[in-house]
Amino acid sequence: MTTSVNQELQELAESVFGDAASSDTGFDAALWRTLEETGLARLTLPAGAGGSEGTLEDAAVVLAAAGAHAARVPLVETDLLAGWLLHAAGVPLPDGPLTAVAGELEVDGTTVRGELRRVPWARAVAGVAVLTGAHVVLLDPGAAEITEGTNLAEEPRDTVRVDGPAAAVVAAPDGVAAELRLRGALGRALLLAGAARGALAAGVRYAGERVQFGRPIGRFQAVQQQLALAAGEVAAASAAASAAARAAADAGFAAPSTRLAVAAAKSRTGEAAGAVARIAHQVHGAIGFTREHDLRLWTTRLWAWREEDGSDAEWNAELGSTVLAAGPSGLWPLITGS
Amino acid sequence: MTATLHRLPDLVPPPTELPPRTAALRADVRAFLAEEQMAGRWTPRADVWLSGWDERFSRELGRRGWLGMTIPKEYGGHGASALDRYVVTEELLAAGAPVAAHWIADRQIGPTLLRFGTEEQRQRFLPGIARGEVYFGIGMSEPDAGSDLAAVRTRADRVDGGWELTGTKVWTSGAHHAHAFFALARSAPRDERHRHAGLSQFIVLLDAPGVQIRPIPLLTGAHHFNEVVFDRVFVPDDMVLGEIGAGWKQVTSELAFERSGPERFLSTFPLLVALVGELAGSAGAEREIGGLVARLWTLRRMSLAVAGSLESGEAPELAAAVVKELGTRYENEVIDVARLLVTTPPDPGAEAGFARLLADAVLHAPGFTLRGGTNEVLRGIVARGLGLR
Ligand SMILES: Cc1cc2nc3c(=O)[nH]c(=O)nc-3n(C[C@H](O)[C@H](O)[C@H](O)COP(=O)(O)OP(=O)(O)OC[C@H]3O[C@@H](n4cnc5c(N)ncnc54)[C@H](O)[C@@H]3O)c2cc1C
């Protein structure tokens, strides 16, 4: 079963995120402080970058818990994306939450200019890491113009406009663009797997509480069969996301097998997201369709996240191209990785 | 307002990686399969573990040490791990090789004999299973006992030196070729309050006096499964499997091995390979193919995770049910996508290729979600795991 180290981490994550789910919106500053105190905020970064030197498998445990509890913090963005990118480029990391984005900026010496769209959590972070062309740029959000926007789950997805000096501009190391994209998809897949689990848990709980025709609706076989289907999707999402984290931990992001694993994981978690959200809502009836009820915390995240960091359609197209290029005799070796 | 999360069971064990040593094994199996195909010894088919009965091929696998791999050496096996066996079986299925003859014996009879069989029974059957020469069936279902397996009526009456079996088994795959099967029978009268009590398993030789085997043709007309009628068939005491009265427990532990293997999502894989071949050089189908591959990759990771968990001595019944439920629906999805993307009509008379694979897959599809426990029953197991029943 789970190794004992991960078991401990899982327990820690459960206790940290335990009552994070809330109908509040915006950055959860109290939770972020706890994440920093427990070393989870920069879990996979080297000690030199203020990190805890955890593995991507450790991150998988923590991110799945963050998704399951609908945590309102830029954890993937800080640890897996911006922290990694800045460290890889040799830029000292600002303290606090960070975010990262790939986009187009005009770079002239240390002056940058342009607009970045749908930047996660921009309004709440201490630094925005931007991969643009051949440069890695660090922006101070205080020196940028931020227009607030959101995704379907009301999480910040802001527009950032800059025209002036950046906090740092350095040359982008080789291969970071491809890795940034894969890291984003992996992080999102792990969050999705967690959120799917959260939605299923809500459905199972509600089915045991809601009484119609004189018994809990969970006693009806039609409801049981639907929740069992959702459980299958949750199992597939968790298996895919954690196997992709394992692949990345073992072989690194440059390995073709990791690329395939991350593509498959983002696609499969995206597919599960739709099915689980649909079933969770059906089981909840009208109450789940209200603002007042918590179910939306998970289902709106499922709908939002399946489109972010590459939708299932995008990753499927990429996977399909790889498979068709490999041809009939190449298909099975792609699946087995040898 | 804050919401605490309802606790759910573990739906899938943690990821399992295949040990590096299996790479060489995989390469050997692949080279052998390529050589067999080059020599024209068989053609890749869909659903081979149901229909590809080829005793020469099974003996050849036995000769190479690829059957009975997890059986200890003293019984003629190879003392390898379940993960080594996993690699061999997935390679065979992916290639569409004819594995039906030894399939049941290798998958579940061997492990069950090791678990519940007597020393004498092991010595008698295991070496032949590992050589690919001894074939078994499964005698569980009856006309009135399908999903409700505890409703079996076949009676085992105590007689001098053994038991006498009377009753009818149905859907017995391969009984017309197999040497023996495990028959589940009632050794004590039925008690409505304890439906699972009073059941026992017996090793029945299929050429024993009083055993009659009649074909039940599939909808294609093919002879795959059978009706097996017992008319006072004598089974000596030394052919009782495990304990009298413990049949239910034994049968359900057998099902854990039966439910999560690669055969639960690879039955139509040869069709997917042919589909990729048909689409070579054309554009526009990437998303559909990618979707199928993402699901397949995920199912394999899930199935491997269950295999790893079985290997470490656990019995992840819930996870196994989940894999089989998703996997057998996936086998159908491959057909749906193939039909959408390629308009070549299925042709059951074709020698090989896409048209033939599609024909076989369509005609065999109803069985995918029935055999080994229907998907409705599997979802019932999952619902119980979730605490709903
Ligand atoms: C290709 C193939 C090979 C087989 N080989 C063997 C073999 O070698 N040996 C052997 O013993 N058996 C074998 N079987 C039999 C198989 O195990 C049974 O078909 C299976 O258990 C279902 O039983 P049934 O066919 O009687 O269907 P039934 O149990 O009558 O089910 C009919 C329908 O009702 C549904 N249903 C039944 N009960 C419930 C419930 N409680 N809740 C919801 N829905 C329910 C089922 O899901 C199904 O959709 C084989 C079957 C097939 C198709």
Mean pLDDT by 10 residues, chain B (389 residues): 75 93 98 97 96 97 98 97 96 98 96 96 98 98 97 98 98 98 97 95 98 97 97 98 97 81 97 97 94 98 94 88 97 98 96 97 97 96 96
Q: What is the pLDDT of residue A204?
A: 98
Q: Is B104 inside a domain boundary?
A: yes
Say yes or no: B29 and B89 in one domain.
Answer: yes
Q: Is B12 inside a domain boundary?
A: no
Nearest beta carbon to residue B286 from set A6, A320, A335: A320
Say yes or no: B214 and B310 in one domain.
Answer: no
Tokens of A42: 């920069």
Ligand 1 centroid – CA B141 distance (Å): 8
Q: Is B120 inside a domain boundary?
A: yes
Q: Is B9 inside a domain boundary?
A: no
Q: What is the CATH number of the domain that holds B171?
A: 2.40.110.10
Measured in degrees and rounded to the nearest 5, phi and psi for residue B173 equal -60, 130
Say yes or no: B112 and B142 in one domain.
Answer: no
Q: Could you tell me the residue range of the domain that residue B355 belongs to? A: 259-386
Say yes or no: B42 and B71 in one domain.
Answer: yes
Ligand 1 centroid – CA B177 distance (Å): 22
Domain boundary among B220, B245, B270: B245
What is the number of structural domains in chain B?
3
Q: What is the pLDDT of residue A6?
A: 84
Say yes or no: B147 and B127 in one domain.
Answer: no
Other CB atoms within 10 A of residue A120 CB: 23
Report helix, strand or coil for A212.
Answer: strand
| Domains and their CATH numbers in chain A | 1-171 (1.10.540.10), 176-336 (1.20.140.10)
Say yes or no: B297 and B342 in one domain.
Answer: yes
Q: What is the CATH number of the domain that holds B116?
A: 1.10.540.10
Which residues of A are less than 8 Å from B306 in CB distance? none
pTM: 0.96
Q: What is the CATH number of the domain that holds B315?
A: 1.20.140.10
Say yes or no: B37 and B61 in one domain.
Answer: yes
Q: By the 8 A CB rule, do B162 and B147 touch?
A: no
Domain boundary among B118, B134, B150: B134
Question: CA-CA distance, A197 to A242, in Å (whole number)?
Answer: 13
Residue B258 among the catalytic residues: yes
Question: CA-CA distance, B363 to A86, in Å (whole number)?
Answer: 57
Q: What is the pLDDT of residue A5?
A: 65
Place of tokens 């859907």: B171
Say yes or no: B273 and B356 in one domain.
Answer: yes
Say yes or no: B92 and B162 in one domain.
Answer: no
Q: Is B15 inside a domain boundary?
A: no
Q: What is the pLDDT of residue B313?
A: 83
Chain A contact present for B297, CB below 8 A: yes
Domain boundary among B221, B245, B269: B245
Ligand 1 centroid – CA B373 distance (Å): 6
Please give the ipTM for the structure prediction: 0.95
Chain A contact present for B64, CB below 8 A: no
Say yes or no: B300 and B363 in one domain.
Answer: yes
Question: CA-CA distance, B32 to A3, in Å (whole number)?
Answer: 37
Say yes or no: B215 and B268 in one domain.
Answer: no
- The chain B residue lying nearest A292, using CA atoms, is B1
* Annotated catalytic residue, options B91, B254, B258, B263: B258
Q: By the 8 A CB rule, do B287 and A313 touch?
A: yes
Q: Is B366 inside a domain boundary?
A: yes
Say yes or no: B99 and B152 in one domain.
Answer: no
Ranges under pLDDT 50 in chain A: 1-2
